[in-house]
Amino acid sequence: MKRLIAVVLLSSLSFTLYATSGGGDRPEEPTSNLIEIDFGRWNIIYNCEKRGYEYFTYSTVPDSGLYSRFKPFHQETQLPKHCRQFSTDTYKQPEVAQQYHRGHGVHQNIWDHDETLMKQSNSFANIVPHAAYLNSYGVWRVTEKLTECYRDKGTVTVWGGNIWGNDSTNDKFLVSHGVVTPDRLWKVIEFPDGEVQAWLMPNDDSPKSKLIDNYLVSPKTISEITGLSFPISASELNEKDKVSKKQPKGCSIK
């Protein structure tokens, strides 16, 4: 399912859609250059101009599967051809340069109970350039592990997205893929106990996992930057935690 939208309600998140600027924390004029894609268990808002997802949201199910990682990436047929990235190849850079991975918005292993959902997560509608270390070992990866671990304790609701910004020096893949590299990434997680934590991080290799608390912000900060409204309590919306959740003992990441 896809449709052009200006305002959409997705999984209890009110998406009032705006183009955002990395140079400031205020939403700009609304844009209709956005497409909703509903994958059943998760949704994204896709930005045709940037050729990457703008926002995503999903709620977890308990860890009940062990399907192996699905490797091939594919074009998203629900997108018009002019909106798609030019290639599903890796984001190659000279060895001396900042390296980038094909970074998932909604990560694959969260659906390891359903082979179809795992394959869908490798849609290039769900992929943008993520700094390599950040994607595999840094703060972004830690938030994925927290989601995987806490889903065994109850439903985890996740919202995340890109802040494209105006730093053109990292837009290394405009020719090869047609995609703008986001300057910053954000994620908001509501844990089973009702606690909500939010992180805002630069899309480079500086957000090391041990520094994760440095990137904590209030959900309200994300809301003000993006123009999104999160269906959480006022107290959680305004709270900036000092310490990130820890991975529970005994959690298995497979």
In this prediction, residues 78-87 reach a mean pLDDT of 97
Domain coordinates in residue numbering, the chain: 2-238
CB count in 10 Å sphere of residue 219: 24
In this prediction, residues 105-111 reach a mean pLDDT of 90
CB count in 10 Å sphere of residue 6: 11
**Number of Cα atoms under 13 Å in the Cβ half of residue 91:** 25
**Residue 229, pLDDT above cutoff 70:** yes
Looking at residue 235, what is its pLDDT?
Answer: 96
In this prediction, residues 142-161 reach a mean pLDDT of 95
- State the fold for domain 2-238: Extracellular Endonuclease; Chain A (3.40.570)
H/E stretch holding 103 reads strand 100-104
Looking at residue 122, what is its pLDDT?
Answer: 95
Q: What is the C-alpha separation between 5 and 150, in angstroms, rounded?
A: 33
The full 3-state SS of 199-239, as one line of letters, equals: EEEECCCCCCHHHHHHHEECHHHHHHHHCCECCCCHHHHHC
Looking at residue 247, what is its pLDDT?
Answer: 92
Least Cα distance to 103 among 224, 240, 1, 201 occurs for: 201
For the stretch 4-20, pLDDT in tens is 333 333 434 444 343 33
**Residue 84, pLDDT above cutoff 90:** yes
For the stretch 41-52, pLDDT in tens is 999 999 999 999
H/E stretch holding 142 reads helix 139-150
Least Cα distance to 202 among 217, 211, 189, 215 occurs for: 215
